[in-house]
Amino acid sequence: MIQRMALSAPKRILFAPFIALALLTVIVMGCAETDEVSTLGDWRRRSDLEGVARNAAAGFVIDNIAYIGTGSNADNERLNDFWAFDPARNTWTQIADFGGIARNAAIGFSVGQKGYVGTGLDVNSDRLRDFWEFDPKANTWRRIADFGGTARRNAVSFTLGNRGYVGTGFDGNYLKDFWRYNPATNGWEKVASYGGAKRLGAVAFVIGNQAYVGTGNNNGISEQDWWAYDPAQDLWLEKDDFDDEELVTRSYGVAFSISGKGYVTLGEGNSTVWEYNPETDSWEDLGTFEGAGRLYAFGFAINGKGYVTTGSNGTARFDDLWEFDPLKEQDFDEN
């Protein structure tokens, strides 16, 4: 966080030293009353989702278009509609309904020109392990091989190279296993389990050739550890923990990466935005999310901007969409 204080250029002072000191003190105190804290990272509201407000949605990004669907509405009814958002036009378009049964707490990822959605909870809150592939050119869904692990909810997912990865979550027990999907063979294989504790409601983003996973809840305890997955070694590498004193620990937040840095926000009523720098393995506070605090939101990044949409706060559901620019300065008055 950058602090700035503007002082007028000093005039020539011909008074006794103690008088000059007193005057300088008055000047500094006067400036302190208007001191501002400037933080890189600005939010602006964009076009609301045209579908119903929801939480625990799933989605993916293909060719600078975000695809978002499923989730549950304010009556906790599971949904199967899907929508495409074009940031360049700031517009939403409804696409083919999700191919599987309605659900929430599912996950999604993209590989190449296809999107993938699976797992979650059905209308009876039964856990699922079916998986579906979306072709945006044909606007169609097709069922693919079921997820390799157990049926679960609130897992995390990411893409490295031409493979999709799914892990952690809850199948009646907290989980830390990870599985890799190969679209070329339509097959799943187990990879190294997560390096930290079991959990659900974690977040993930990818920077370079590594994925970063952290936060989440394990038996009622919010986790603060942070790990990087190296697919070349099939190995999890422990990174710098979130600082517990600054209340960064959370569950059901959102994360995305922009230009070599990762961003984590929201979850459990915590709206602070944190930036992760993998080169220094360190975190920096970038102010707060400017929309309403929420859980179970959906986040993604396109063309150097981050986006947050949907989610819930108590029984309320959201359909607003917010765009984050990490390079634009946001000013706050401390008083």
The rounded distance, in Å, linking the Cα atoms of 88 and 241 is: 36
Is 218:194 a contact under the CB 8 Å cutoff?
Answer: no
Question: Could you tell me which residues are beta bridge partners of residue 109?
Answer: 116
pLDDT (tens place) for every residue of the chain, 335 residues total: 333 333 333 333 333 333 333 333 333 333 333 334 447 889 999 999 999 999 999 999 999 999 999 999 999 999 999 999 999 999 999 999 999 999 999 999 999 999 999 999 999 999 999 999 999 999 999 999 999 999 999 999 999 999 999 999 999 999 999 999 999 999 999 999 999 999 999 999 999 999 999 999 999 998 989 999 999 999 999 997 655 455 567 899 999 999 999 999 999 868 999 999 999 999 898 999 999 999 999 999 999 999 999 999 999 999 999 999 999 987 554 33
Specify the long-range contacts of residues 309-314, CB closer than 8 Å, at least 24 apart: 309/49, 309/68, 309/85, 310/49, 310/53, 310/54, 310/55, 310/57, 310/68, 310/71, 311/55, 311/266, 312/55, 312/56, 313/269
- The pLDDT assigned to 299 comes to 98
Could you give the CA distance from residue 234 to residue 208 in angstroms, rounded to a whole number? 15
For the record, the structure tokens of 321 come out as 């969409």
pLDDT at position 112, please?
97
- Do the Cβ atoms of 206 and 215 come closer than 8 Å? no
User: What phi, psi does 296 have (nearest 5°)?
Assistant: 55, 35
Q: What is the pLDDT of residue 274?
A: 92
The 3-state DSSP class for residue 27 equals helix
Angle at 41 between CA 37 and CA 42, to 5 degrees: 95
Domain at 43-333: CATH code:
2.120.10.80
Residues 6+ apart with CB under 8 A from 144: 116, 131, 132, 133, 186
Could you state, in order of their start, the residue ranges of all structural domains in the chain?
A: 43-333
Are residues 254 and 247 in contact, defined by beta-carbon separation less than 8 angstroms?
A: no
Q: What is the pLDDT of residue 256?
A: 98
Task: Kindly give the residue spans of alpha helices, DSSP state H, lying in the chain.
Answer: 17-32
pLDDT of 330 reads 76
pLDDT at 14: 35
pTM summary value: 0.86
Tell me, what DSSP letter sits at residue 78? B
